[in-house]
Amino acid sequence: MAVTDEAILKIKEMITSGRLAPGDRLPPEKELSESLGLSRSSLREAVKALEVIRVLDVRRGDGTYVTSLEPRLLLEALSFVVDLHDDRSVIEIFGVRRILEPAAAALAARRMSDEQLDALDRLLETTTGDEGVEALVQHDLEFHQAISEACGNDYLAQLIESISSHTVRARIWRGLTQQGAAERTIAEHRAILAALRDHDAELASAHSLTHVAGIEDWLRAALGATA
């Protein structure tokens, strides 16, 4: 594994130094292994590993290419790890949301256009809480996604989306079992939107923190009650 790690680091250095750019084709295996001072077997293992985490794209019969290196691709490995969580580790995922989403809301408050704010307003207007739990959860996902996408940081936005989509089951559970969950969710979203419309970064962050922390506290209590 040490030899493979060395191969990975050398290919990484080629990308970070600019010798290989997104979309570039890697040199043929024999040429690349000789230029990097690596065995062809260790190079192959490194390429396989970098393909898994979406840094490289192996096209059979065509060659190996550097991917676009977009955050969406690079964070797929994180999404895979989060897929392995159990009901109790989802509390830790909410803990990560509690750190990231207030930061995204603060950034979005400084950047959101009137058009983006109006779109959020329309989303809220079409949600009454009477459509059922799954519709409410879908609204919740779209609301938070719109804010993270407006924050101006693609990595932060994709990171939030990667972890947020794995908390759907907990959100549905809350909607089914906690009285007034729908009304509370909509009211908290309205408070966040009002702060965003005022371009008040601190208040948007505070409302976002309260919103996510409230779900986290409920989940912690619910899991404790079922233990």
pLDDT of res. 173: 64
pLDDT digits (tens, 9 = 90+) for 162-188: 887 767 666 776 766 777 888 888 999
pLDDT of res. 132: 77
Is the pTM of the predicted complex or chain greater than 0.85? no
pLDDT digits (tens, 9 = 90+) for 90-126: 788 888 899 999 999 999 999 999 999 999 999 999 8
Two tokens, residue 1: 């594994």
Q: Residues 6 or more apart from 69 whose CB is under 8 A from it?
A: 15, 22, 55
Please calculate the CA angle 41-43-46 and round it to the nearest 5 degrees.
Answer: 115
